[in-house]
Amino acid sequence: METIKVGIVGLGRLGKVHGENLAYNIPNCELYAACSPVEEELKFAKEKLGVTNVYTEYSEMVEDKDIQAIFIVSPSGLHCEQIRIAMEHGKHVFSEKPIGLDITEIERTVAVIYSYPKQVFMLGFMRRYDESYQYAKTMLEEGAIGELTVIRSYGIDPKEGLESFVKFAGASNSGGLFADMSIHDIDLIRWFSNQEVKRVWAIGKNTAYPELDALGELETGAAMLQLTDKTIGILVAGRNCYHGYHVETELIGTKGMLRIAQIPEKNLVTIMNEQGIVRPCSQNFPERFKQAFINEEKEFIRCILAGEQPEVNANDGLQSTKVAIACQKSFEENEIMDILY
Amino acid sequence: METIKVGIVGLGRLGKVHGENLAYNIPNCELYAACSPVEEELKFAKEKLGVTNVYTEYSEMVEDKDIQAIFIVSPSGLHCEQIRIAMEHGKHVFSEKPIGLDITEIERTVAVIYSYPKQVFMLGFMRRYDESYQYAKTMLEEGAIGELTVIRSYGIDPKEGLESFVKFAGASNSGGLFADMSIHDIDLIRWFSNQEVKRVWAIGKNTAYPELDALGELETGAAMLQLTDKTIGILVAGRNCYHGYHVETELIGTKGMLRIAQIPEKNLVTIMNEQGIVRPCSQNFPERFKQAFINEEKEFIRCILAGEQPEVNANDGLQSTKVAIACQKSFEENEIMDILY
Amino acid sequence: METIKVGIVGLGRLGKVHGENLAYNIPNCELYAACSPVEEELKFAKEKLGVTNVYTEYSEMVEDKDIQAIFIVSPSGLHCEQIRIAMEHGKHVFSEKPIGLDITEIERTVAVIYSYPKQVFMLGFMRRYDESYQYAKTMLEEGAIGELTVIRSYGIDPKEGLESFVKFAGASNSGGLFADMSIHDIDLIRWFSNQEVKRVWAIGKNTAYPELDALGELETGAAMLQLTDKTIGILVAGRNCYHGYHVETELIGTKGMLRIAQIPEKNLVTIMNEQGIVRPCSQNFPERFKQAFINEEKEFIRCILAGEQPEVNANDGLQSTKVAIACQKSFEENEIMDILY
Amino acid sequence: METIKVGIVGLGRLGKVHGENLAYNIPNCELYAACSPVEEELKFAKEKLGVTNVYTEYSEMVEDKDIQAIFIVSPSGLHCEQIRIAMEHGKHVFSEKPIGLDITEIERTVAVIYSYPKQVFMLGFMRRYDESYQYAKTMLEEGAIGELTVIRSYGIDPKEGLESFVKFAGASNSGGLFADMSIHDIDLIRWFSNQEVKRVWAIGKNTAYPELDALGELETGAAMLQLTDKTIGILVAGRNCYHGYHVETELIGTKGMLRIAQIPEKNLVTIMNEQGIVRPCSQNFPERFKQAFINEEKEFIRCILAGEQPEVNANDGLQSTKVAIACQKSFEENEIMDILY
C-alpha cells in the first residue's frame, strides 16, 4: 500500500505528540517534513523524529511537491490561513482545534475547504476517536439509554497549567476558557445529540487567583445550553484540577444514564492506604487521549488512501467555535446569548 | 428525661415514614395523636402505630393541651396555615418541605414563627442530617477541597413516579418540577455555600411523555444558578430515573472535588454477571434517607428538650422556595430571572 | 407489648456498643442490670446508660429474678461458664462470639443450651444481620450467581490494634489470629454454603513486627478450606490494615460473582484530590457494623417475645470454633488438618 | 535503524494476535515468514498479514537464513523442541507460555537456551508488560504498600471457553487448569515477590459441568502457596466467568493493599439502567491485554536491536511450570506438595 508523506507545522507540546505518532505509530505514513519558527522544535524533529526536511517558513514547506498532507498544530490564530494555503496547494489537511478564532474568517476558510472536495480535511476532535466515547456513542445509537434529554460535559485542566497561566498572564490570548477548554465538550454535545445549540448562558468564578478577573480569564466557568430540540447541555470548564485531567461526559436519556470517565481512572490499579481507597487519575491530555490521537491519525491516513472524507469536518469546526464564542460573550455580559443559523 | 408528646398531621407515604419513626425509633418521643381526613390513614395510626388520639380535623388536634409538638406532613398547600395555627397554640412545629407555595404567605408565616422564639420550628430538609452530607460539609469546612466554585446537585425520581404522574395528570398541582424536586438541592446549595442565589436560568425537555408539555410539567429540567459571591450552581431534576432514586451532589473547590452519592449505591454489594459489574441502587427516598429521617426527628426532639432552635429554620424555607419559584418562572419564560433580597 | 429486662456482663469496647443500643435503640428492651469487675465500666453503666442495678459478681446478677435475659460480652474464656449458669437460672442468653475456646467445654455447654429449649440462645455473629450480607444471601438463594464454588472472606483489623497488641504482647491470650479474627468469616462460609469444613491448611507471615513470631501470633494469615461438597473456602486474616477495617466477602458461583464490601466504603462520599479519586473507609467494627449490632439485638428481643429461636445457634458456635482451632493448629504444624464430625 | 525479519509458527487465536501486531504495529519489525500445518492459517498469513514466505514444516522455515527471529505460538507440547531447534539455528526466540509441559524436557531446553547467550530468548508472560501491572510493580518497589505479605491472583476465563471445552472434551490435553490458566498468576507471584514457591495445596470443584470430573479437568480451582520467605500466595483459576475475562491481582503489604483490575473494566464507561450502576467488562485476553502484547513484542525487537536479554527469561518458564505441575499434582492427591530446588 502507498505511504503518505506528511509535513507537520508546529511542534509544541501537542505537536510533539502528533509528530511522534506520525513518525512511529501510524502505518502507511511517513513524517517527511516539519516546520516551526522555534529552533528547538526543528532540532527535535531531526533528532527524535528522523525528519530530514525542516522549514522555518510554512510558505516554503507547502511548496514541496512530495508532501501530500499537512498536519497543522500551530497556534490557533494561524489555523485558518494555514488551512487555506495548504488546500490551495492541493494538500490533504489535518488541523488541530479550533478551526479558527474569528467567525467570519472561519466561514471563509470553510468555503475554501469545501471547494476542494477531493482533498481530505479533518479537524482534531480526537475525543470522538477515544474508545470509551465511541462505545458510548454506539450504546446511545443502539437505544441503551433511550432518547437524550441532558448532556453534561466537563473539561478541567490540571492546576499546573493554571499556575503557569497566571505567571505568564497576558502573554498569550487563550480565546477565553470556553474556546480554549469547552470546545471539545461543545463538539461532543453536537456529536451525541445531532443537534445545534440555540441559546446559552455562561457564568464563572475566580477564587484561587482573583487576579484573573483583570485579564478577563476564568479559573472555573459553566454554561447551560439549550439545543434545537430542547435537549439540555451543561458545560463545566476549569484550569485548576488537583486530581489531574478531568474530562467527563454524561448522557441522560429517557431510559438510562451513561457516563464516560465519571472518574478519570489512570489505569486498572486501586490502592488502599491511609487515605482510603484510591484510584490514581490521568494527569494530562496526552496521557488520557494517547490512543485517541493515534486513532484519529490513522483515520486521517485511511481517508486519504480510501478517497473518503472523515466524520469530523469543517462545519463541525465552524459550529463549535460559534457556540464557544457565544459562551464567552454571555459570560462577559452575564446575559443569555442566542445563536443564529 | 421528659418524653415529648407529638401529634402528626398527614399519614401519606412520607407521613407513614415519620409516623413509624416517631412511634418506635425516637427516644424521649411519644406519638400521641394523629390527624388525617383519610380513614385508612387513621386506621394505620391506630393499628400500626398504636396512636389512640385520632382526629379528622386539624383544628381539634391542636386544641389538645397534652400535645407539645406538631409534625406537619400534609399537602404542601396546607403547610403555612397549619404552621401558624400550631405556633399560635404554643406547639413546637416540624414541617415538611416546602414551607409553602406562595412567597407572600410564606413571609407572613415566617414572621409568625419568629414571633414565638421559645417554640422550636424545624423544616424537613433531611438531607442535611444524612451521614454522607454531614461528612461532606465537615470536609468542606476543614478545607479539604479549598473554597467552593461550583455546586452541582441532582434530584431524579424513579420512573414509576412519572408513570403514575402522567396517568393522574392534572389531579394534583406539584408546584412544578423545581419546587417539587429541586427544593432540596437548592437548600443544599445554600447550606454548603452560605450564599444566596441571585440569578437563575432554567430549561427543560419532555421526551418520554410529550403530553407533559400541555400540563406545563417536565420530565427533566435543569437550572444554572449564580450565587451572591459568583459561586456556580447547577441543578438537574427529573422524574424518570431507570436505575432508582438518583440524588447526587458535587462540590468543586479550589483544591479538590467531592461527590456525595456519585452513584446511589444501595448497599456494599457488587454483583458480577452477564451485564458486567453491577452495583444495585437505592430505589426511593425512604430507602436512601432512612437514617436521615431518624436523625432529623431525633434532632427535633433534642432541640425541644434542650430549648434550642435547629439549624434548619424558617428563613431556609422562605429562601429555597423563592429560588424554586424563580426557576419555574425562568423555565416558563425561557429567560434569566433575578432574585431580589 | 412486654418490655424485656436485660442484664449485661462485660462493658469493654464491644460491651459499650451493646450496652448503649440496649439502653437506647432497642424497642421493648430495658437495660436493667450490668456486671463488671471494672469500676469504670460500672460507672459508665450508671452514668451513661442509666442502669441502677450494678454488680461486680456475675453469680449475684443471675440471681436477680427480674432479669429475663443475659447479654454476655465478657472475655472469651468466660463465655461457656457464664452461658451455662444463665441457662440454669432460666435466663434467655445472648453470647458474643466465640462461644468458647475449648472444644470439649463448648460441647458440654451446647448440651446444656439444648436442654433448655424454651429459653432463647443467640450467638453474636452480627454480620449475618448486616444489610449487605443479608442482601447477598437473598441473591444467592434466588440463584443470581448460580451454585457456589468459592467463598473468599477477609477480616483485617486496623493497624492501631496491632500496635497496641505488640506493645502489650503476652498480656492476653487472643486464641490466635484465626480464632480471634477469622471466626466471623468461618461462620459466613458455613452460612452461605450450608456446608461444613472438612480440611484446612493455614499459613502466615510476620513482617512488620517479627517479634510476633516468638509469641506464636500473626500479623497476617491465610487459610484454604475444603468444604463437604468441595466448595472452596479462602480466608485472609490480619491485624495491620492501613486503610481501616477491611471485612470483605466474595461468593463465586456457576453463574456470577458477588462481593460484599469489595472496598469498605465509609459512606457515599468520594473525594478527588492530589491523591487521586479517594473513597474514605470504615475505620473499625463499631462503625462498619453499627446497624448490624442493632439488628441482631432487635432479633434477640423479638425471639424472646415471640417464643422463637434465632437463626444463629449454639451449634454454629461449636462448628466455627472447631474450624478456627484447626486453622491455628494447621498453621503451627504447617500441615493440612482434617476436621472430623 | 535495522528491521528484524521474523518468522512465526502457529496462527491460531493467539497466533493471529501476535501476527497482526508483528505485521502492522511493531516498528523495526517485518513479519517475513509464517509456518502452520493448517491451510486456513497460512491463507490468513498471506492475505491478511501480507506474508509471502509460508511453510507447513517448521524444520524448513528455520533453514531460511534471512529470518533473524522466531515467534513460537504453537501448541504447548511443541514449545521445547521448537525453541531448541531455533536456538541451534542461531535465531532469536520468542516463545509463548508455557515453556513446556515436562520438567525434564524444560530443564534440557533451558540449558540449550543458556548455551547461546548472544541470542535473545523471551517468554510470553505479557502481563508483566501491561501498563497497570507495571504501575503496580513500580509502586511496590517504591514502598507504597510496604513489604509484601500476601499476593492473590485470579485468572478466570469466560464461560464460552468452558462450553466448547466440555463439548470437545478429551480432544486436547490442557495440562490441567493450573498449567493452563494459573501459570500467568504464578509468574506474577514470583515477579512481584522475588521469591520462589516452596509448598502448595490445590483443590477444586466442578458444579456447572460435573462431567469434567471424569476428565480430571476443573471448572474452578484454587491453590494456596507458601513462598520461601513465608509470603502467602493465593490462586483462583476458572473457566466459567459470566461477566467476561477476570484477571485480578492483589498485593497486601505491611503498609497498604493494591489491586490490579479489581473489576476488569472494559473502558471508562459507566451505564445506569434498570440493572443498577453497570461497568462493562473486558471479554477476553486479546481485549484485556491488547496493549501488553504490543509492548512485549516491542520489547523483544528492542532487545534484539540492543543486544540485551529481556527480563522474562527461560528460568521463569521453568520455575512457573514447576509450580503449576505441583498444583495439579496436589489437586489430584488432595495433599500438600513441596517444591524442591
Digit-coded pLDDT (tens) for C283-297:
999 999 999 999 999
Q: Is B143 on the interface with C (CB under 8 A)?
A: no
Q: What is the largest CA-CA distance in chain A?
A: 61
Instruction: Check CB contact of A215 with chain B, cutoff 8 Å.
Output: no
Distance between CA atoms of residues D265 and D281, nearest Å? 5
Tell me, yes or no, if A149 comes closer than 8 A to chain D by beta carbon.
Answer: no
Answer whether A4-119 and A128-288+320-338 agree in fold.
no
Q: Residue C253: pLDDT above 70?
A: yes
pLDDT of res. C169: 63
Q: With 0-12 CB in 10 A as exposed, 13-18 as middle and 19+ as buried, what is D65?
A: exposed
Residues 234-253 of A with CB under 8 A from C: 242-244, 246
Distance between D307 CA and the closest CA of chain B, angstroms: 44
How far apart (Å, rounded) are the C-alpha atoms in residues C69 and C299? 13
Question: Which ipTM value was assigned to this complex?
Answer: 0.95
Question: Which residue is listed with cell 451454585?
Answer: C147
Query: What whole-number percentage of chain B has pLDDT above 90?
Result: 90
**Contact assignment for A199 to B224 by CB distance below 8 Å:** no
Q: Alpha-carbon distance A137 to D274, whole Å?
A: 19
CB contact under 8 A, A276 and C274: no
- The class (CATH top level) of D4-119 is alpha beta
**How far apart are alpha carbons A35 and A166 in whole angstroms?**
29
The whole-number pLDDT of residue C75 equals 92
3-state helix, strand, coil in chain C (%, to 5): 40, 25, 35
So what's the pLDDT on residue A214? 87
pLDDT-based confidence at residue A148 (cuts at 50, 70, 90): very high
| Length of chain B in terms of residues written | 341
- Residue to substitute from D135, D147, D149, D327, interface C, most C β-carbons within 10 A: D149
- Residue whose C-alpha is closest to residue B336's, from A334, A223, A228: A334
Cβ <8 Å between A269 and D132: yes
Contact D277 B263 (CB under 8 A): yes
Residue A38 contacts C where some CB pair is shorter than 8 Å? no
> Cβ separation of D236 and C234 shorter than 8 Å?
yes
Query: What's the CA gap between B307 and B302, in Å, rounded?
Result: 8
Q: Is the CB of C159 inside 8 Å of chain A's CB atoms?
A: no
Contacts of D272 in chain B (CB under 8 A): 242-243, 246, 263, 281
| Shortest CA distance from A158: residue in chain C | C274
Nearest to C8 by CA among C61, C60, C46, C44: C61
Residues of chain B with C-beta less than 8 angstroms from the C-beta of C264: 268
Q: Which residues of D touch C242 (CB under 8 A)?
A: 255-257
pLDDT for residue A207: 95
* Residue A1 confidence (pLDDT): 64
A104: three-class secondary structure by DSSP: helix
Disruptive mutation site among A152, A260, A269, A288 for chain D (greatest number of D CBs within 10 Å)? A269
Give the model's confidence band at D173: pLDDT under 50 very low, under 70 low, under 90 confident, else very high: low
A278 touches chain B (CB under 8 A): no
The shortest CB-CB distance from C272 to any of B256, B264, B268 is to B256
D47, with CB counted inside 10 A (0-12, 13-18, 19+), is exposed
Nearest CA in chain A to D273: A256
**Cα separation of A305 and A6, whole Å?**
13
Residue C251 has pLDDT above 60, yes or no: yes
Which among C249, C266, C121, C108 is positioned nearest to C188, based on CA atoms?
Answer: C249
Residues from chain A that touch C265, judged by Cβ atoms under 8 A, are 277
Average pLDDT across chain C, whole number: 95
Confidence of residue A165 (pLDDT cuts 50, 70, 90): confident
Facing residues of B249 across strands? B153, B260
Stretch B74-93: mean pLDDT: 97
Residue of C24, C254, C268, C281 to mutate for B, most B C-beta atoms under 10 A: C268
Check: CB of residue B59 under 8 Å from CB of residue B29.
Answer: no
Q: What pLDDT shows up at residue B170?
A: 61
Neighbours of A, requiring at least 3 CB pairs below 8 Å, are B, C, D
Task: Identify the chains in contact with C, defined as 3+ C-beta pairs within 8 A.
Answer: A, B, D
Given a cut of 60, whether residue B10 has pLDDT beyond it is yes
Inter-chain CB proximity A131 and D267 less than 8 Å? yes
Residue of chain B whose Cα is closest to the Cα of A246: B257
- Considering the segment(s) A128-288+320-338 as one domain, its CATH architecture is 2-Layer Sandwich (3.30)
List all chains that touch chain D, counting a touch as 3 or more CB pairs closer than 8 Å: A, B, C
* Whether residue B171 has pLDDT greater than 60: no
Please name every residue paired with B204 in a beta bridge, in sequence order, or none if there are none. B221
| Optimal mutation site among C195, C245, C257, C275, interface D, most CBs of chain D within 10 A | C257
Q: Strand, helix or coil at C255?
A: coil
Chain B residues with beta carbon closer than 8 angstroms to that of D270: 263
Torsion sign, CA atoms A258, A262, A264, A267: negative
- Alpha carbon of residue D233 to chain centroid: 18
How far is residue B256's CA from residue B251's CA, in Å, rounded to a whole number? 8
The C-alpha atoms of residue A324 and residue A337 are separated, in whole angstroms, by 11
Closest alpha carbon within chain C to B267: C132
Our CA-based measurement puts residue D279 at a distance from the nearest CA of chain B, in whole angstroms, of: 5
Write the pLDDT tens digit of every residue in D64-95: 999 999 999 999 999 999 999 999 999 999 99
pLDDT for A144 equals 97
Residues in A touching D144 (Cβ below 8 Å): 271, 273
Q: How many CB pairs under 8 A join A and D?
A: 80
B339: pLDDT confidence band, cut at 50, 70 and 90? very high
The pLDDT, as a whole number, for residue B197 is 98
Tens of pLDDT, residues C201-224: 999 999 999 989 988 899 999 999
Q: Which of B136, B267, B274 sits opposite C135 (nearest CB)?
A: B267
Say yes or no to pLDDT of C171 above 60: no
Q: What pLDDT was estimated at residue C166? A: 82
Could you write out the DSSP letters of every residue in C197-231?
EEEEEEEEE--S-TTHHHHT--SEEEEEEEETT--
DSSP state of C96: P
Q: What's D179's DSSP letter?
A: I
Q: Which residue of D has its CA nearest to C256?
A: D242
- A256–B242: do the CB atoms touch at under 8 Å? yes
- pLDDT tens figures, D263-284: 999 999 999 999 999 999 999 9
Contact call for D139 and A264, based on CB within 8 A: no
Q: How far apart are CA C130 and CA C135, in angstroms?
A: 9
Which chain D positions have a beta carbon within 8 Å of B281's beta carbon? 272, 276-277
pLDDT band at D170 (very low <50, low <70, confident <90, very high): low
Percent of chain D with pLDDT over 70: 98
| Residue-level pLDDT at B63 | 98
Report pLDDT digits (tens) over C100-135. 999 999 999 999 999 999 999 999 999 999 999 999
Check pLDDT > 90 for residue A324. Answer: yes
What distance in Å separates the CA atoms of residue C120 and residue C305, rounded to the nearest whole number? 10
Name the closest residue on chain A to residue D275, using Cα atoms.
Answer: A256
Of D272, D274, D280, the CB nearest to B276: D280
Give, in order, the Cα–Cα distances in Å from D199 to each of C336, D175, D220, D233, D329.
Answer: 12, 20, 20, 10, 12
Q: How far out from the chain centre does Cα D90 lie?
A: 24
Residues A171-220 have pLDDT tens digits of 566 688 999 899 999 999 999 999 999 999 999 999 999 989 988 899 99
Whole-number pLDDT of residue A45: 97
Range scoring the smallest mean pLDDT among A257-271, D39-53, D207-221: D207-221
Would you list the domain boundaries of chain B?
Answer: 4-119, 128-288+320-338
Per the CB < 8 A criterion, the answer to whether D86 and D61 are in contact is no
The answer, yes or no, to whether residue A124 has pLDDT greater than 90, is: yes
Q: What average pLDDT does the segment B106-135 reach?
A: 98
Q: Which residues of B50-76 are buried (b: 16+ CB within 10 A; e: fewer)?
A: ebebbbeebeebbebeebbbbbbbbeb
Residue C238: the pLDDT is 96
Count Cβ atoms within 10 A of the Cβ of residue A329 and give its class: 0-12 exposed, 13-18 middle, 19 or more buried. middle
Lowest-confidence region among B85-89, B301-305, C4-8, C75-79: C75-79
State whether residue D279 sits within 8 Å of chain B by CB: yes
A336 touches chain B (CB under 8 A): yes
What is the spatial distance between Cα D154 and Cα D235, in angstroms, rounded to a whole number? 6
Determine, for residues B135 and C280 on separate chains, whether the beta-carbon distance falls below 8 Å: yes
Do D246 and B281 lie within an 8 Å CB cutoff? no
Q: Which residues contact A156 (CB under 8 A, 6 or more apart)?
A: A181, A220, A236, A237, A238, A239, A240, A241, A245, A246, A247
Report the percent of chain D where pLDDT is more than 90: 90
Is the dihedral angle over the CA atoms D297, D302, D305, D311 positive or is it negative? negative
Cβ atoms of D300 and D94 closer than 8 Å: yes
Q: Residue B136's pLDDT band (boundaries 50, 70, 90)? A: very high
Q: Which residue has the higher pLDDT, B217 or B133?
A: B133
Distance (Å) from the alpha carbon of D167 to chain A's nearest alpha carbon: 33
Q: Return the residue of B nearest to D283 by Cα.
A: B276
> Chain B contacts of C274, Cβ < 8 Å?
256
> Are C224 and D203 contacting, i.e. CB atoms less than 8 angstroms apart?
yes
> Contact B204/A232, CB-based, under 8 Å?
yes
Q: What is the pTM of this model?
A: 0.96
A304 vs D: CB within 8 A? no
| Residues facing residue D5 across a β-bridge | D30
- CB of B104 less than 8 A from some CB of A: no
